[in-house]
Structure 1
Amino acid sequence: MKIKKMLNLIKISTTLNRLLSYAYPWKKSIFIALIMLTGASVSETICPLLISYFIDDIIAKHKFIPKIFILLLFSFIILQIISIILHYFQNLILSKIAIEILKKVRIDVMKSAILQPLSKFDKQPIGQIIAKVTNDTELIKDLYDTVIISALKSFILIFTILIAMFTIKWEMAVITIIVFPLIIIVMIIYQHYSIPILRKVRSYLANINNSFNEAIKGMKILQQFKQEDRFGKKIQKHSKFHYKFRMQTLRLDGFLLRPLLSLFSGLVLCGWIILFSFYPKGTFEIGILYVFINYLSRLNEPLITITTQQSILQQAIVSGERIFQLIDSPKQKYGKDNNLILEGKINIRNLNFSYYSKDKKILKNINLKFRSKKFIALVGHTGSGKSTLANLLMGYYQINDGNIYIDGRKINDLSKKCLRKGISMVQQEPYILADSLFYNITLGRNISENTVWKILEIVQMKKFTESMKYGIHSILGEEGNNLSIGQKQLLSIARVLVSYPKIMILDEATANIDSETEIAIQKTLKKIKKKTTLIIIAHRLSTVTEADSIIVLNKGKIVEQGSHEELMKKKSNYWNMYKLKNKI
């Protein structure tokens, strides 16, 4: 247990140090802010001393001298103004730094999320990643603009007050600092009990976000199948646990923080009263008592602030752990071979693949070989491994058993630049951005409007685009909701064709479209296959009848291979599928 606690403390310390390291580029600005804080604290500390002098030397002795009174009043006001100005500017500097750090953390988290292996997105709910990018990074901002700023203010104020106390009456100052070890013990106890609770709070908050994300994305299905109550209960369950552990943190705050610190202040006052009894009559000035009571009240607040900020600090550390876990996780692996794919030849040897368990292979002993600029079709029942093979050809997953060679080079050795420029895929459900048609096709690439218009003509979308109010600059709705499914597919093909890859994959691109759009796509494919190796995954076998080679997959294995005519003559798997689809 001791080793476990020690490892936990080391983990917390490492996370906190790493979070604080984000402030390093702004060290000069932080140093200036600290000087301002110190100046403001010194100004605040001197003010009670002026009032003490006024009490003991003017009021108590009945010596009212106008010049001295005006000087004291003027000095008090000036010190207060200096304190306000310095606090304003240091707060401005530190808050700006906090926002800059938040920006840097979010960029790092987003970069890491984008570079994650696709297998991560297969396993992890999207809501949890969104929670890391939004909620967790916001808590790290709180660490800087709330915890650290408050802690710096509090520590500097405590330090200046203690120096003033020891200068005025060291005996009373000693009594004051006796309670400091007790405060440290309270902080340690609070930290010990709060960290596990706060981890659960963050976990259930992530679950709530994920549930909302699922509900909103699948709203049509949810309402169609009357699943509102089930989703409501699911969110209610996560919310109940989140509330339960949030209440535990509030109970900790209520018991361990202000009541105990108020008790410690009372003990200090008791100590002073006992000390007063030892002083001879008339030797103890009332002004000094005022100063110390004033300082004690000023000490109490920063001590409470430091302790109450423990809650935010722990949440920030927990958020930091979650964020750094994402940042440090393995990224999508690519090779270092930057040479472009020039031909588009494919050679697959003894390929086996499984997503999670080696015992459950999705692809089994796949061996295929295609020359460039050929039309290849992958067909088979759902779950036969067609899309998995396409994903491997895209380089989305690392191959550990067997090999895929592109132009004679192992696909694992090819760089990201090489793969993305040479191989492209049209998804079954293309993702459309809420942006212009032009941007949806170019996706920020340096492609001219003239080229886009030519591609739109190739994919049979030119007339439709011309009918739109602003042509290629017309804004599409979120997820392309002002386009038909067929138009989305054609747009997705146009997106790929603006840079003409050497290998093009269409994953069920004709599965959900009407016959008119299918004809448009077939016309487009005839033009494409003259320039590129074309691989089509299809349920509609009418799309692939002109393929040079049709690969029939069943349960991860190749069961047939040949042209449409050759496979129809065999009257086997393909023949049965074609017969079923076309009812011949």
Structure 2
Amino acid sequence: MSKRDVLARLLRYLLDDKKGFAIAAALLLVAAVADVSGPWLIRIFLDDYLAKSYFPPMVLWGLAIGYISATVLSAALHYSYGLRFSRIAIGIVQTIRKKVYASIINQPLSAFDYVPAGKLVSRVTNDTESLKELYVQVVASFLNSVALITAMLIAMYLLSPTLTLVVAILLPSVVFVMYYYQHRSTPAYRDSRDLLTDINSVMSESIQGMSLIQLMGQEQRFSERFASLTDQHLTTEVKIVKVNGIFLRPLIDLMSGIALISLTAIFGWQGSEVIGVGVLYAFISYLGRVTEPLIELMQRLSLLQQAIMAGERLFELMDAKPNQYGSDDAPIENGDIEISNLTFSYDGKTPVLTDINASVKEGGFLALVGHTGSGKSTLASLMMGFYPLQAGELKLGGRAISSLTQNAMRTGIAMVQQDPHVLSATFRENVTLGRKISDDHIWQALEQVDLADYVQHLPTKLDTPIGTGDVTLSAGQKQLLALARVLVERPRILILDEATANIDSGTEERVQRALSSLRHTMTIVVIAHRLSTIADADKILVLHRGHVEEQGSHQQLLANKGRYWQMYQLQQTKAHLVELEQIASGEAE
């Protein structure tokens, strides 16, 4: 999208509130007429009365009152215009910000695989603020300048076409300077905006990963990286200042000075008998009022460049294709899962899953095991519909996952991730997540995951905020809370992605019993490293480098003495060594 297309698209938002824009335009036009009236009244006084030494009291009082009224009216109308236009601008920014955010949260997860969170935050906040400056400063000033210059030129022409021609020569020169300034400043403003985004991204990532940075002793390296970006941004800003220093006020002042000298020369050549002193005063006054908005408009061009760069980024997000879902909105009626010849790659080059085949009936227990990078979590993400299928087939409840709507998928299948996100809100809000769920169902879910007793002893129970004050959940409690979120609505298929990894063995046994009681109503898929947690699974898929190397029950796989048997033996040996260490430390005490 070209800069002209971006600007045109941004300006079209002004027409969303046609009535408000029309009222603002009407106020501006009347204000321009009031601005023109003041010098015109003084011209009448100088040429028609002062030059003739004729001073009728009533007329002079009328001119004085008219001048004061025009000045007051102009100020009031400009205030009303600025206030109304600011409201329109803020409304547009809010609309764009909402659209950008809605577009971001509806994009497929693949869109976030390689984009730092800090850059997205910068676009939603900083770039939309740049758009506000576009409407409040640039567009408002442009309309004000156009209205004022038009009114002034009409008034000048009525006074003296000859002098108006001299002033009119100034305008094309200003347009040329503005065009050349935009051409020279655009690259610098683009670099400045990109570097500012990178700075925000580094800051955001550094704060989020502060523990890792300090743990690995990388404070100096991150400081140097931030300093380097800051220095580059400073260099770019200096370039912008140099361009502004040359093309903004100095050139406009020079051209207005030339115009003023020309007016004075023509006045001296033709004489006061042809051109009155009042006319010259009015022209000089109008010239000053014309050049000031031109200088202001030139200064606003820097904001225009920033807004166009910001608009490009924001429209890129707004126009991104959302996650594609099907049209079948019927609820998933059973928990059958069928996977046929499934192949997937994140980048289209390196396969992560290759020719996966598996199936499990409703109420079954499917386990996915394998070393890190074997494709377990990727397969679970495909079951959740986070990524579109590339090859093969995946059916949920006998229906292709690509045919299901988002609503059908999210109500029929749920996942508890290894590192669940906890909101800075109450327990109730963290469980319901905006859904209409009764407190009885919440307590029932908390009871199933062994959190009910903990919440009951809190000062305000379900209304207790998490993450503020003295209430902070451990990693295991966060996973139990995430499990309670999905149990309140009883999905047909429940996926646990290492959801019991940070839970102590006693709590894990309670969760296992709760899941066992739910197996007759839902299908359970568990990704696990601890093989003891999946010993009673109906089917275990052993993944290795994206392939299904083995599948079967726990006993069948042990009898085969393949990769699963090796993994089991290693874990058993490790557990035995830990037990011996505990015994030895107990005897030493």
TM range (shorter): over 0.9
Q: Secondary structure of the residue that 2:367 maps to in structure 1?
A: strand
Find 1:517's aligned residue among 507, 519, 531: 507
Find 1:378's aligned residue among 368, 375, 392: 368
User: Partner amino acid for 1:429?
Assistant: D
C-alpha displacement of 1:233: 1.4
Q: Secondary structure of the residue that 1:404 maps to in structure 2?
A: strand
1:532 matched to which residue of 2? 522
Q: Is 1:102 matched up with 2:102? A: no
- The whole-number CA distance in structure 2 between the counterparts of 1:477 and 1:527 is 32
**So what's the TM-score if we normalise by structure 1?**
0.95
1:413 matched to which residue of 2? 403
The 5 A counterparts of 1:494-513 are: 494-513=484-503
1:483 matched to which residue of 2? 473
1:331-386 deviations in Å (ceiling 9; x for gaps): 1111111121111111111111110033x111111111111111111111100100
2:129 matched to which residue of 1? 138
Q: Secondary structure of the residue that 2:339 maps to in structure 1?
A: strand
RMSD: 1.7
1:6 matched to which residue of 2? none
1:299-335 deviations in Å (ceiling 9; x for gaps): 1111112222111112111111111111111211111
Q: Secondary structure of the residue that 1:335 maps to in structure 2?
A: coil
C-alpha displacement of 1:215: 0.6
User: Partner amino acid for 1:512?
Assistant: N
Q: Is 1:334 matched up with 2:350? A: no
- The whole-number CA distance in structure 1 between the counterparts of 2:466 and 2:276 is 79
- The whole-number CA distance in structure 2 between the counterparts of 1:60 and 1:314 is 50
Q: Is 1:163 matched up with 2:154? A: yes
Indicate if the aligned counterparts of 1:510 and 1:540 stay in contact, CA closer than 8 A: no
- The whole-number CA distance in structure 2 between the counterparts of 1:462 and 1:117 is 35
1:125 matched to which residue of 2? 116
Indicate if the aligned counterparts of 1:486 and 1:517 stay in contact, CA closer than 8 A: no
1:467 matched to which residue of 2? 457
C-alpha displacement of 1:415: 1.3
Q: Secondary structure of the residue that 1:22 maps to in structure 2?
A: helix
C-alpha displacement of 1:126: 1.1
The 5 A counterparts of 1:184-263 are: 184-263=175-254
2:566 matched to which residue of 1? 576
Find 1:66's aligned residue among 57, 60, 74: 57
User: Partner amino acid for 2:463?
Assistant: H
Structure 1 range deviating more: 79-88 or 521-530: 521-530
Indicate if the aligned counterparts of 2:448 and 2:511 stay in contact, CA closer than 8 A: no
The 5 A counterparts of 1:293-372 are: 293-358=284-349, 360-372=350-362
**So what's the TM-score if we normalise by structure 2?**
0.95
Q: 1:481 to 1:131 in 2, by over 3 A?
A: farther
Indicate if the aligned counterparts of 1:348 and 1:405 stay in contact, CA closer than 8 A: yes
Indicate if the aligned counterparts of 2:465 and 2:471 stay in contact, CA closer than 8 A: no
Q: Secondary structure of the residue that 1:362 maps to in structure 2?
A: strand
Q: 1:185 to 1:479 in 2, by over 3 A?
A: farther
Q: Number of aligned pairs? A: 574
| Consecutive unaligned residues in structure 2, runs of 5 or more | 577-589
Find 1:275's aligned residue among 240, 249, 266: 266
User: Partner amino acid for 2:318?
Assistant: I
- The whole-number CA distance in structure 2 between the counterparts of 1:21 and 1:40 is 24
2:551 matched to which residue of 1? 561
User: Partner amino acid for 1:332?
Assistant: N
Q: Secondary structure of the residue that 2:2 maps to in structure 1?
A: helix
Q: Secondary structure of the residue that 1:333 maps to in structure 2?
A: coil
Q: Is 1:439 matched up with 2:458? A: no
1:481-531 deviations in Å (ceiling 9; x for gaps): 700111111110010011111110000112223223322322222222221
Q: Secondary structure of the residue that 2:30 maps to in structure 1?
A: helix
Find 2:16's aligned residue among 2, 21, 25: 25
Indicate if the aligned counterparts of 2:414 and 2:494 stay in contact, CA closer than 8 A: yes
Indicate if the aligned counterparts of 2:363 and 2:519 stay in contact, CA closer than 8 A: yes
Structure 1 range deviating more: 160-169 or 560-569: 560-569
1:151-208 deviations in Å (ceiling 9; x for gaps): 1111101111111100111101100011211111111111112222222111111111
- The whole-number CA distance in structure 2 between the counterparts of 1:301 and 1:284 is 25
Indicate if the aligned counterparts of 1:366 and 1:558 stay in contact, CA closer than 8 A: yes
2:586 matched to which residue of 1? none
- The whole-number CA distance in structure 2 between the counterparts of 1:294 and 1:480 is 68
Structure 1 range deviating more: 277-286 or 152-161: 277-286
- The whole-number CA distance in structure 2 between the counterparts of 1:153 and 1:474 is 54
